[in-house]
Amino acid sequence: MALIQISEPGQSTMPHQHRLAAGIDLGTTNSLVSTVRSGVAETLADESGRHILPSVVRYCADAPPQVGETAKRAAADDPMNTISSVKRFMGRGLADIQKDHNVFFEWVQIESAVPRIHTVAGNVSAVEVSAEILKTLRQRAEASLGGELTGVVITVPAYFDDAQRQATKDAAKFAGLNVFRLLNEPTAAAVAYGLDHKAEGIHVVYDFGGGTFDVSVLRLNKGVFEVMATSGNSALGGDDLDHAIALWIMKQAGIPPSQDQKLLRRLTREACRVKEQLSDAQSTEIAVELSDGSNWRSKLTRDQLHQIIDPIIKQTLLPCRRALRDAGISNEDIQDVVMVGGSTRVPRVRELVGEFFHCEPLVDIDPEKVVAIGAAIQADVLAGNKPDEDMLLLDVIPLSLGLETMGGLVEKIIPRNTTIPVAKAQDFTTFKDGQTAMAVHVVQGERELVQDCRSLAKFDLRGIPPMVAGAARIRVTFQVDADGLLSVSAREQTTGVESRVQVKPSYGLSDTEIETMLRDAMQHAQQDIDARNLHEQLVEAQRVIDALQQALQQDGDKYLSNDERQQLHHGIQRLRDTMDQKDHKKIKLAINALNQQSTEFAARRMNASIQKAMAGHKVDDFGGES
C-alpha cells in the first residue's frame, strides 16, 4: 500500500521549491554526506575537494576539536586525544568496550553514567564524538547547498541494537540535525543500485566496513524490500585487517608486545597503507620507525597478504552461510550481491565473496559511497521532493510488540524499528492439561516483564480441544499495516477456531515517552534479564510440581512404597521452599534434583503403559513386515 503525501493547505511544494535534505553514512572509518541535485544523487566534497571525511576527532586543550584529515594525521603523535572508530563504542557499556582489542583510549565511568573517554579537553562520550563528525558533515552540506537542511537520513548497520540506534539519534540531535529516519545500511545500498526498481528477486548485501560487518538477504516484493535474514559481527571490520597486518609486522621486526600507543598507531597506519597498496601492486615496501628511533624495512607480497587476511575474510563468510540458512535459500536463488564498505575494495575480499556466492559481486558504484547515495535518495523522498506517484513512505514500529506468557513475561513478536507493513507469527501452547481457552494479552515495550510494559489489548481464544499440556498448537499472528494499525489473531491449528483484535500501537505515545521507555530498558537491562530468568524458572518449577502431583495422585499407590511417596512429597516441598528464595540458579538446581528423584517413578509408569499396550499381542505384531 503506497502512502500518498498530503500537504497542509498552503504548504504544498511548488515545482520550483526544493527542500534541502541529505543522506549521511556515519561510518566507523570514514563518513560521507550526500544529496540529490537535478535528480542525481551525489556525495558532497569539502573546500579541498575531498568527499570522504575520516571518522576521527582530535581534542585539544585550548582549541575547538579537529575533525577529519587533520585529526587523522595527528593520531600517531597524539593517540590518547585522537578518537577514531568511535562507532564501535556507540551504545555500549564499559565491560563490552574493554573486550575490544582495538581500544587505544583511556575510558572512565562515573557511577551509572555512560562510559567516557579521557582527553585534555575533558571527558567525552562516544555520542559527543559522533556529534562532532555529524556537525562537520552538516556544515559541509549546508555550505554546498546554500541553506539549512530540512532533515537527514542517517544509515546504521542492520545489526545495531536499540541502544546503538538511540545513541546515533542522540548524536544527531547534539549536531543540530533533524533525523527523518535511521536507515539500515543494506537497504540504502540496494536503493542506490536501483534494485527496488528491478524485477522481483533475492539480493544479498555484503557490507564490510572499517569496524562492522553485516550481511543481509533481501527479497524485493512489489517494490518493497523484505529482510529475509540478517547476520554479521558488530566488532569485525577493516580495522581487524589492519590489526592483523600490524601484528605480522611486529613479529617480523621482532617488536615485543607494547603499550607504546604512538608505536601502535604508526604500525596500524603503515598496515593500512600496505593493504591499500597491494590492491593494485603485487608487492610493496614496509618502513616502520621503532621506539628507539631506528627504522625497520621489509617487503610484503600480495600472496603473503592473503595468508594474513584470509582468516579474517573467512570469518565474514560464516555469517553469510548462516544468513542463507536462516532465509531458507541456496546460492542458486540469489540474483546479485552488492558490495558495500571500504574493506570490499580489497581484491581478495571480492574474490572470496564471489567464490562463496557463485556470482560476480556488484561494484559499479564506489563501495564507500553507495550507502550515502542510497540515504540521499531516501532523504529526498522523505523531504517531499518527489512527485506523488513516487511517494512510498515506509514507517517503523517505535517499540517492540509482544505477548504476555506464563509468569508475567513478555515474548516479543515484532522488534522495535521493524519497517511496516509487516506480519509475523509464532506458535504457542497450553500450560495445563485440559485447557480449553487462552487469554491473549498484547503489550508494547522493551522490558522483559509485562508490568514494565504498556498494555495494548486483551482478548480470549475459546474452543481449544482439551488436550494434555503442551499438545495444543495456537498460532498467534501480528500484522501491522502501512497505517500502523495492528491486528492480532490467535488460531488453534487443529480445529481452526480463531479470535482477533485490532489496536493502534503508537496511539498516545509521544517521542518523549518512547525515549523514556527505551532509556528505562537500557538502564534496567541486567535487572530485567535477572527477573526474566527468575520468572522462567518459577514457571518451570510450578509445571514440574503440577505434573508430579498429578502423577502421584493417579499412580502413586500402584508403583511406589509409602517411603518413596513421602520422599517425593518432601522433594516437592523442598522445591517450593527454594521458589520462595527467589534465586533462579537455586531453583534450577532444585528442579533438576526433583526430576532426578522422580526418574524411577516415571520409568515404572512408562513400563506399565508399555505392558498394557502390548497385552494380548505377540511381539511379532509390533515388528512390521520382515
* Domain residue spans of the chain: 1-10+19-193+365-393, 197-364, 401-521, 526-614
- The rounded mean pLDDT for the chain is 80
pLDDT single digits (tens) 66-98: 999 999 988 878 888 888 888 888 877 777 776
**Residue 593, C-alpha cell as written in the block:** 534434583
Catalytic one of 170, 185, 446, 452: 185
- pLDDT for the residue numbered 519: 62
What is the model's pTM? 0.58
478, pLDDT greater than 90: no
**CATH of 197-364 among 3.40.630.30, 3.40.630.10, 3.90.1530.10, 3.30.420.40:** 3.30.420.40
Quickly state the pLDDT bin for 508 (edges 50, 70, 90).
very low
Cβ contact 410:218 at 8 Å: no
pLDDT single digits (tens) 384-400: 777 543 444 445 666 78
Please state which of the ranges 154-168, 270-284, 325-339, 497-511 shows the lowest mean pLDDT: 497-511
For cell 570514514, name the residue: 30
Domains 1-10+19-193+365-393 and 401-521 share a fold: no
- pLDDT for the residue numbered 388: 45
| Rounded percentage of the chain residues whose pLDDT exceeds 90 | 20
pLDDT single digits (tens) 200-242: 788 899 999 877 788 888 887 766 666 778 788 877 888 889 9
pLDDT single digits (tens) 293-310: 778 888 999 999 999 999
Cβ contact 35:141 at 8 Å: yes
- pLDDT for the residue numbered 518: 53
Does 185 qualify as catalytic in the annotation?
yes
Cβ contact 9:355 at 8 Å: no
pLDDT single digits (tens) 142-153: 999 999 999 999
Quickly state the pLDDT bin for 13 (edges 50, 70, 90).
very low
Helix %, strand %, coil % of the chain (to 5): 40, 25, 35
Quickly state the pLDDT bin for 50 (edges 50, 70, 90).
very high
442, pLDDT greater than 90: no
Longest dimension (CA), the chain: 96
Does 555 qualify as catalytic in the annotation?
no
pLDDT single digits (tens) 104-125: 678 877 665 678 888 888 888 8
CATH code, 526-614: 1.20.1270.10
Catalytic one of 46, 128, 207, 448: 207
CATH code, 1-10+19-193+365-393: 3.30.420.40
Please state which of the ranges 176-185, 376-385, 517-526, 590-599 shows the lowest mean pLDDT: 517-526
447, pLDDT greater than 90: no
Cβ contact 367:339 at 8 Å: yes
Catalytic one of 72, 87, 275, 412: 87
Quickly state the pLDDT bin for 375 (edges 50, 70, 90).
very high
Number of Cβ within 10 Å of residue 128's Cβ equals 22
Q: Which long-range contacts (CB under 8 A, 24 or more apart) does 38-43 make?
A: 41/192, 41/373, 41/374, 41/376, 41/377, 41/380, 42/373, 42/376, 43/369, 43/372, 43/373
* Angle ∠(316,322,323) on CA atoms, nearest 5: 90
**Residue 262, C-alpha cell as written in the block:** 604512538
Catalytic one of 25, 78, 132, 170: 25
Does 214 qualify as catalytic in the annotation?
no
Please state which of the ranges 193-202, 205-214, 252-261, 612-621 shows the lowest mean pLDDT: 612-621
Across the range 340-363, mean pLDDT stands at 91
* C-alpha dihedral sign at 164, 165, 169, 175: positive
- pLDDT for the residue numbered 263: 79
- pLDDT for the residue numbered 4: 42
Cβ contact 418:397 at 8 Å: yes
Does 366 qualify as catalytic in the annotation?
no
434, pLDDT greater than 50: yes
Quickly state the pLDDT bin for 623 (edges 50, 70, 90).
low
- pLDDT for the residue numbered 510: 44
The CATH T-level fold of domain 401-521 is: Substrate Binding Domain Of DNAk; Chain A, domain 1 (2.60.34)
Helices (H), 99-152: 126-145
For cell 539519534, name the residue: 169
